[in-house]
Each structure stands twice: as C-alpha cells, then as structure tokens.
Amino acid sequence: MELDSLVRGEFAPLTTYLNTASTGLLPARTVAAMGEAVAASAAGRPTDMFGDVEAARASYARLVGVPVRRVATGASVAVYTGLVAASLPVGAEVLLAEADFSSVVNPFHMRGDLKVRTAPLEGLAEAVRPGTALVAVSSVQSADGRIADLAAIREAARTHGARTLVDVSQGVGWYPVDAGAYDYTVTVGFKWLTAPRGVAFLTVPDDLGGLNPLFAGWVAGERPWDSCYGPVEELAHSARRFDESPALFSYTGGRHSLALIEELGTDHIHAHNTALADRFRAGLAALGHEPVPAPGSAIVSVPGLGHRQAELSRAGVELSDRAGNLRAAFHFYSSAADVDRLLDLLSGR
C-alpha cells in the first residue's frame, strides 16, 4: 500500500521506524506548532495554549465517539488509573489481565486494601463473577499485540454489575475505539496518536462514574480563572473536573497530531497497518518463525528474536525487545518496503 501524499509530507524518518508501540513519530505540523509556541513564549508573547487543550479534547472526543463533556485531559495513564483505584471501597474486587502493562495494574496493587485477581487475557470475561467491582484491561496488549475480546468482557461485567476500565493506549489511532461502551477509558497520546509526551486522556460516563477528583486544582473549576485561590468553590460539571494542569506545549503540538489522525481516518489507518503486519507475518512464516498469535493486530511479537534488536538498530531498523521477543509495530508512516527490509535483515540477506 502506498503512503498518502499527506503522510509523506509530514514524516521523513532517517531510520526504518517500526517502533510506534513504544513512541510514535511526531508529524511536521506538530513540531512546527510547538516550535512557534516556544518561540512566542520566549519573546514574551505567549499564544492561547489553553485553547489548544480544548481543541485536543474535542478532537479526541470525536475519535473515540463520546461527547466532549466526557473527556478529561492529563499527562499519564497511571495517574488516571490511580484515580479510579482510589474511588473503590476497601475490599473491592478488581479483575486484571495477567502481565498487562504496569500503568494499568500497579495502582490497584498499591492500594493494599483491594482484592486483586488476575486471569489470562483470553479468559478474562469468564473470570468475571458476582462481587467483581471493576475489570481493568488494555484493549491491545503492549507486550505482544494481542487484542482483548472487549465485547465479551463488557457483557460479563454488565451481567455481574462490574464497571470497566480499558486502556486504549496501544489501540486508539489505528484500532476503532468506542469509549462510550465502557465506564472509563484511558490513553497516552505519544504512541499511535503521534502526539508529544505529556498528552493523555480519560473518558468517564455522563454521571462522572463516581470518581472523586482528588488532585483537582484550579483547572478543575467550572470557571478556572475564578478558582485560583482557596478551595475550588464549584468543580467543573463535566469530566474537566478530572483535568490535570496541562503540559501546554505538548497539547499545542498534540492538537495537530490528533487532527492528522482525523484527516486520515481510523478505518484507513487500520487497513494500512494490519496489511503491513500480515505481510510481516507471512514473511516470518517463510523464514520459519512463528509470532505470538495476535490476529488483526498492528503489533507483531516474535519469540526468540529479541536479542537481535540492537543489531537491527545498528542497521537502521528501530524495533523493541520485550521479554525476549522482537516487537514490530506498523503505523501509517510504515511501508511495504520497510517490512521487506526487516525481513531481508532477519534472513541474513
């Protein structure tokens, strides 16, 4: 599949970059916007970067299919997972997927007074039971690209009265996300959304999900500039009450990254990414390698090849070594030529 001219104009990597599951490349428009904002601030003429935060919030809301009032802006998944963990009563049961990403699972363990259970990803829905208060899972597993059966997990949770928390960090931007189908979703922006670090989002239900805005500062006020001193008298009536004070330069760039995702369209990106992943899987099979089964995923993880990551990096191909597996991640700036170059290097040609 040929890359769109729009994409070619935004990206010019000096490597064969197949490592978006770690960090996405920044589009040229994002880099330019951040540079202009930094220069303006240095000159004492700062721009309206809070407007950039709101533009990013609105763009993300459209991407995941929820009203903007249900989106909070922050900087990390762990903070928002911790917020959800803090909302649970003592002794509540939380169900997690085995070996899920630490930012999803660790806040629940850190509480110390919750009942935390784990189950294999493929059996997570079956592990929900009466008394389960929350099921938390990544939509796409960071380590190997396996895709959770979210429909089954959601149905099991509803049957037993449990809430759902889904980390979409490894999905949103290439895999369709319906945030309205879950109580809470969280994501960072620096992977598949190609935003800078410091951009993250939380989505909550219309009733705000019973969360207590423990870290609420002035930006969480219904009228932020009237909430700068003393206790905030009126919290925002929307998910904005869960906002962290924003990393403004990151959001100034991030709004443009999100706009690019919207311009390209998730369906187009999904088709492009998965076609490249399938091309890589077919090439691996011809070389006698079997990746971790993850049908339909843009992430391909190959057992036993992680040790070759450094060698491949020296050859100009960027991937990850995860638990001994070589992890490749294909995004809209990846090409068939990138796949073929990686396969050639793996074959020794």
Mind listing the pLDDT tens digit for each residue in 267-312? Answer: 999 999 999 999 999 999 999 999 999 999 999 999 999 999 999 9
And the tokens for 177?
């996300």
- The three-class DSSP label of residue 218 is helix
The CATH architecture annotation of domain 5-18+265-347 reads Alpha-Beta Complex (3.90)
Tell me the C-alpha to C-alpha distance, in Å, between residue 269 and each of 7, 124, 199, 326. Answer: 11, 28, 21, 23
Overall average pLDDT of the 196-225 stretch? 97
Res. 74: pLDDT tops 50 = yes
* Model pLDDT, residue 349: 63
Higher-pLDDT residue of 6 and 252 is: 252
Reported confidence tier of residue 5, pLDDT bands at 50, 70, 90: confident
Q: How far apart are CA 293 and CA 281, in angstroms?
A: 10
Overall average pLDDT of the 180-204 stretch? 98
Determine the number of helices (DSSP H) and then strands (DSSP E) in the chain.
11, 12
Overall average pLDDT of the 185-203 stretch? 98
Q: How many CA atoms are closer than 13 Å to the CA of 17, on its beta-carbon side?
A: 17
Overall average pLDDT of the 55-78 stretch? 98
Q: Which residues have C-beta within 8 Å of that of residue 286, sequence separation ≥ 6?
A: none
Reported confidence tier of residue 1, pLDDT bands at 50, 70, 90: very low
Mind listing the pLDDT tens digit for each residue in 101-151? Answer: 999 999 999 999 999 999 999 999 999 999 999 999 999 999 999 999 999
Res. 3: pLDDT tops 60 = no
Q: How far apart are CA 188 and CA 269, in angstroms?
A: 18
* Model pLDDT, residue 309: 97
> Domain coordinates of the chain in residue numbers?
5-18+265-347, 34-263
Overall average pLDDT of the 231-251 stretch? 97
Residue 140: DSSP 8-state: B
- φ, ψ of residue 254 to 5 degrees: the values are -60, -35
> So what CATH class is 34-263?
alpha beta
Overall average pLDDT of the 68-80 stretch? 98
Mind listing the pLDDT tens digit for each residue in 89-98? Answer: 999 999 999 9
Residue 219: DSSP 8-state: G
